[in-house]
Amino acid sequence: MARTASLSGFPEWLPEERLVELHVLDTLRRVFELHGFSSIETRAVETVGQLLRKGEIDKEVYGLSRLQEDEGEAKGKADPHALALHFDLTVPFARYVVENAGYLAFPFRRYQIQKVWRGERPQEGRAREFTQADIDVVGDGDLPFRYDVEIALVIAEALSALPIPDFRLRINNRKLAEGFYRGIGLDDTAGVLRSIDKLEKIGPAKVAELLKSELGATDDQAQKALQLAGIRTEDTSFVAQVRALGVSNDLLDEGLSELEQVIDAAVQRAPGKVVADLSIARGLDYYTGTVVETVLVGHEQLGSICSGGRYDALASKGNRKFPGVGLSIGVTRLVSRILSQDLARASRSVPTAVLVALTHDDSWDAAQDVAAQLRSRGIPTEVAAKAEKFGKQIKFADRRGIPFVWFTDDDGTHQVKDIRTGEQVVAAPETWTPPAEDLAVQVSTAAEPAAAAV
Amino acid sequence: MARTASLSGFPEWLPEERLVELHVLDTLRRVFELHGFSSIETRAVETVGQLLRKGEIDKEVYGLSRLQEDEGEAKGKADPHALALHFDLTVPFARYVVENAGYLAFPFRRYQIQKVWRGERPQEGRAREFTQADIDVVGDGDLPFRYDVEIALVIAEALSALPIPDFRLRINNRKLAEGFYRGIGLDDTAGVLRSIDKLEKIGPAKVAELLKSELGATDDQAQKALQLAGIRTEDTSFVAQVRALGVSNDLLDEGLSELEQVIDAAVQRAPGKVVADLSIARGLDYYTGTVVETVLVGHEQLGSICSGGRYDALASKGNRKFPGVGLSIGVTRLVSRILSQDLARASRSVPTAVLVALTHDDSWDAAQDVAAQLRSRGIPTEVAAKAEKFGKQIKFADRRGIPFVWFTDDDGTHQVKDIRTGEQVVAAPETWTPPAEDLAVQVSTAAEPAAAAV
């Protein structure tokens, strides 16, 4: 199944692969709805002005133009009214909330599962078209911090329900980091975050150099910032470790308390799934408190499979602010990995559980009656199109993984054959039902390949 | 709910409207899977060369370019390798079939529910971004005609399951029409079809003029062509009516026999839902046999809500041909109409069935335990974020249509209140279950407005 997309960066799945993706999407939807999140979709396009509203973005954006448009009509890249494809679901959601504020009940909790596009260089885990599954809660004016805790728990539950390897949510808090930097006298906190964000790529020595050369940090300041970023605990002991660094600042205290609440709840409700990781920075983005990245254990080089955090200032309407907190699962990144490493598989390639065979070409109508009776009881059923030899009709089912073939004799006797075992029994179309595990396609985890230790 | 899209032609739904759309999508998926159709998705973009492969198209196509691309990199409109958004799902599906022929089992039956884009002038029933739900069956080399019959029946069943007014599939056959035109000596059959396609817009007198002025038809030829287009029957009596016109031609015979098979099966299996309508032409498209359009009774001016047909030559790979037959439902057109005329409504605006109230701020953790128990039995549940007065917490539920609020006393007694009736009962989180009709959101048909007679 090692096919290459015919257009680099635009993956397409075969039907049996799509069944794995559908299983992932259905599972996420089920968990999100169990937690009361409402589905919405936003249009695929935004105005360029909207996409660039928060200033420079590091995402490659696809602009749109009508092929048949008149020359004079063509809009320049700089035109803020020109249309472009969205590169995430958070910016469009913020726009949607502001536009529809009068129709929504706040705090508003929604999930959104859609494709997004980025014109970046494709590589494993990075496509140009990919599906994201987001949950967010947005408040009107304020939003209790408890939603930060809840969002992390919902995502841990959702990821646990997927056929994927073990994962870790790595959580930090911008207030904690920024308060700490201020406490040691580094006031360009955005600059420090940008440098710390490079830690995994370039290592601590080079980050220290950057802090000194670009931000004028002293040796001691650089070392303190690196010590903070080195803290990683599976429980709330990070608090004592930060305190031991001897820095005091009000914002730091607030951030410590917030992160402690998240980790404390996670230790109880999602044990082993969440770590406090004080190196997490989340680059340029609009986050103001909690920040999250997620790795698959043993697949760390794939990058984060679920990211997000708290944003207090992304959406506003005049004086009215809509603070939010949300996380975004990279569905295509996960599904690509599941498929390329054969981590899960569909039990058959089609929804069909029963093929109704044709004895004669003119028995199609009677076969449709049988099929209609089976379908009325929820059994996915196809009817053969031609009265080929039974061997050929059975092969038709076998190639697709359809487990049962139905035969109707000339005397009206019905029989159904399990083509995997060869067992054939007399059956009535009004009552016969396949075993539950054969009714719908099952997606099951294959034996997991040896994963690296945590 | 008469909101206007903030970008003309790009509709977005409120959460309670989206629930109606989800109901439509889930219903279509269920029916398609019951009939053994496999889900696939294709990428949103095709190359311009692929989209224009069949020559001129009358759809307005959106081209793509990277906003950050270098000047020299910019591709002209004429570049066949430039990318553009797909304008339907049939052309991408044909490309997918050819590319993946070695991995698919033929006849291959798939459904595909995705957004498509056309840069046309928006009006009621015509958006620039809209969702289509397609089913097709494609063969390798040949495809039994029976699939034409089956596709029509599946679509009639799918549409019957939706919360929409009564509908009619209007079915014709290109072979029938082309054979007839040849039989009366009009050999530019594409030209005749183009003129006949304008019948509803400009009327028979002007179509007759067109046939004479543009195609050199005689009075008698024009009248015969119009007589054919005037035939519309709810059963197979159209055969006798065509025969009575005294035209003989082999292709005509083949088309008559094909259409007769479709109508014959529909009279039995989808009574009242299908008519033979010999005026249906389907414009410029790639159809070679069966052609279908569908109207909502009483909403004819909305245009076709489901169209398609047989295409024998859309997909090929060298000498290998992949004939297909398929139909496409205009989901956004249907949902827009359902919403604008209030034809169906969701029973509440959120998935949540139960809100767990907080007695004290520190009872959040115990409330999460209750919620987890309810969710583990499939009951969508939210937990309040703050221990506000019970009246305020009840109002939170009421605004969203959440039917039940759960209270836990300090002594650990649980009670659940139906906030619609005020009834409150002692309940256990391990066993209490809401009535089936309250468990999940229900979408039900509102009283139908007076519809025009057929």
- Indicate whether A281 and A316 sit together in one domain: yes
Instruction: Give residue A284's pLDDT.
Output: 62
Nearest to B14 among A10, A103, A379 (CB): A103
Task: Reply yes or no on whether the pLDDT at B454 is more than 50.
Answer: no
Domain membership flag for residue A8: no
pLDDT digits (tens, 9 = 90+) for B78-116: 577 899 999 999 999 999 999 999 999 999 999 999 999
H-helix or E-strand containing B147? Answer: helix B146-160
- Among candidates A295, A305, A300, A312, which has minimal Cα distance to A328? A305
Residue A333 lies in a domain: yes
Among chain B residues, the shortest Cα distance to A95 is held by B6
Per-residue model confidence as pLDDT tens digits over B353-398: 999 999 999 999 999 999 999 999 999 999 999 999 999 999 999 9
A168, A232 Cβ separation under 8 angstroms: no
Distance from the Cα of B230 to chain A's closest Cα (Å) equals 31
Percent of chain B past pLDDT 70, that is, above it, reads: 93
Interface touch B351/A150, C-beta < 8 Å? no
Non-local (6+) Cβ contacts of A210 within 8 A are A195, A198
Identify the CA nearest to B389 among candidates B407, B402, B372, B414.
B407
The answer to whether position B49 is within a domain reads no
d(CA A68, CA A70): 7
Chain A residues near residue B270 by CB distance under 8 angstroms:
none
Please count the structural domains in chain B.
2
Contact between B377 and B433 (Cβ < 8 Å): yes
Quick check: B16 pLDDT over 50? yes
Give the residue from A167, A219, A159, A128 showing the smallest Cα distance to A27.
Answer: A159
Give binding residues of B as ranges: 88-90, 118, 132, 136, 282, 286-287
Count Cβ neighbours within 10 Å for each residue of B189-213 and write b for 16 or more, e otherwise.
Answer: bebbbbbbbebeeeebeebbebbee
- Of the three residues A290, A325, A345, the one that is the final residue of a domain is A345
* Tokens coding B82: 């430039």
Are A434 and A331 part of one and the same domain?
no
Residue of B nearest to A96 (CA): B12
**What's the pLDDT score for residue B314?**
84
Based on the fold, state whether residues A329 and A200 are members of the same structural domain. yes
Nearest CA in chain B to A264: B365
**Considering only CB atoms, which chain B residues are within 8 Å of A86?**
none
Q: Return d(Cα B287, Cα B312) in angstroms, integer.
A: 7
Pairing of strands B83-85, B45-47: antiparallel
**Chain A residue nearest residue B47, CA to CA:** A7
What ranges make up the beta strands (E) of A3-125? Answer: 38-39, 45-47, 62-66, 83-85, 108-117
B336 and B387 belong to one structural domain: no
**Could you list the pLDDT tens digit for every one of the 454 residues in chain A?**
446 778 999 999 999 999 999 999 999 999 999 999 999 999 999 999 888 876 556 678 999 988 876 544 455 555 778 999 999 999 999 999 999 999 999 999 999 999 999 988 888 778 999 999 999 999 999 999 999 999 999 999 999 999 999 999 999 999 999 999 999 999 999 999 999 999 989 999 999 999 999 999 999 999 999 999 999 999 999 999 999 999 999 999 999 999 999 999 999 999 999 999 999 988 766 899 999 999 999 999 999 999 999 999 888 888 999 999 999 999 999 999 999 999 999 999 999 999 999 999 999 999 999 999 999 999 999 999 999 999 999 999 999 999 999 999 999 999 999 999 999 999 999 999 999 999 999 999 875 544 444 3
* Same domain membership, residue A130 and residue A186: yes
At B264-311, the pLDDT tens digits run: 999 999 999 999 999 998 876 689 999 999 999 999 999 999 999 999
State the pLDDT at residue A53. Answer: 73
Q: How many residues does chain B have?
A: 454
Judge whether residue B234 has pLDDT over 70: yes
Position B450 scores a pLDDT of: 44
ipTM above 0.85 for this complex:
yes
CA distance A258 to A111: 24
Same domain, A371 and A295: no
Question: Residues A273, A359: one domain?
Answer: no
A324 and A382 belong to one structural domain: no
Residue A115, min C-alpha distance to chain B (Å): 9
Query: Number of Cβ pairs closer than 8 Å across A and B?
Result: 210
What is the rounded distance in angstroms from the CA atom of residue A438 to the CA atom of residue A102?
47
Tokens 């406490």: give the residue: A183
Give the C-alpha separation, B410 to A396, whole Å.
64
- The verdict on residue B452 lying in a domain is no
Which of A99, A114, A350, A399 is the best mutation test for B, with the most CBs of B within 10 A?
Answer: A350
| Residues A171 and A57 placed together within one structural domain of the fold | yes
CB contact under 8 A, B18 and A39: yes
pLDDT for A77: 53
pLDDT band at B72; cut points 50, 70, 90? very low
pLDDT above 90 (res B344): yes
The enclosing domain of B399 has a CATH number of 3.40.50.800
Q: d(Cα A46, Cα B291) in Å, to the nearest integer?
A: 37
8 Å CB contact of A36 and B382: yes
Contact A375 B67 (CB under 8 A): no
Give the count of beta carbons closer than 10 Å to the beta carbon of residue B94.
24
Task: Report how far residue B364's alpha carbon sits from residue B371's, in angstroms, rounded to the nearest whole number.
Answer: 10
Name residue, tokens 């014709």: B172
| Token pair listed for B244 | 């009575």
Chain B closest CA to A383's CA: distance in Å?
9
CA A281 – CA A285 distance, rounded (Å) = 9
Rounded to a whole number, what is the distance in Å from the CA of B269 to chain A's nearest CA? 9
Q: DSSP for A420-444?
A: TT--EEE--TTT----HHHHS--EE
Position B176: which residue type? L
Nearest C-alpha of chain A: how many angstroms from B179?
A: 26
**B36 and A65 in contact by Cβ < 8 A?**
no
> Is residue A366 located within the same domain as residue A335?
no
* Within-domain flag for A453: no
- What is the residue whose two structure tokens read 């005091």? A248
Q: Containing domain of residue B268, as a range?
A: 15-40+91-343
B39/A15 CB distance under 8 A? yes
How far apart CA B153 and CA B160 sit, in angstroms, is 10
Alpha-carbon gap, residue B119 to A367, rounded angstroms = 45
CATH number of the domain encompassing residue A154 = 3.30.930.10
- Give pLDDT, residue A69: 66
B48, B119, B399 ranked by CB distance to A66: nearest: B119
User: How far is residue A30's CA from residue A306's CA, in Å, rounded to a whole number?
Assistant: 18
Select from A68, A140, A358, A381 the residue whose CB has the most chain B CBs within 10 Å, as the one to mutate to test that interface: A68
Do A328 and A434 lie in one domain? The reply is: no
Query: Does the annotation list A3 as a binding residue?
Result: no
Q: How far is A386 from chain B (nearest CA, A)?
A: 8
B265 and B388, same domain (yes or no): no
Does residue B451 fall inside a structural domain? no
Length of chain A: 454
Most A-contacting residue of B151, B335, B350 (CB-CB within 10 A), to test interface: B350
Question: Residue ranges of B for the binding site for L-histidine?
Answer: 88-90, 118, 132, 136, 282, 286-287
Of B293, B312, B343, the residue at which a domain comes to its end is B343
User: How far from B136 is each of B139, B144, B147, B239, B325, CA to CA, in Å?
Assistant: 10, 13, 9, 27, 5
Select from A310, A328, A345 the last residue of a domain.
Answer: A345
Query: Which residues of A are less than 8 Å from B83 in CB distance?
Result: 7
B223, part of any domain: yes
pLDDT of residue B452: 42
Tell me the mean pLDDT in the region B44-58: 79
Q: Is residue B225 part of a domain?
A: yes
Q: What are the φ and ψ backbone dihedral angles of B369, each rounded to 5 degrees? A: -65, -45
> What pLDDT does residue A313 have?
86
The region of weakest confidence among B105-119, B121-135, B229-243, B249-263 is B121-135
Structure tokens at B317: 């790979």
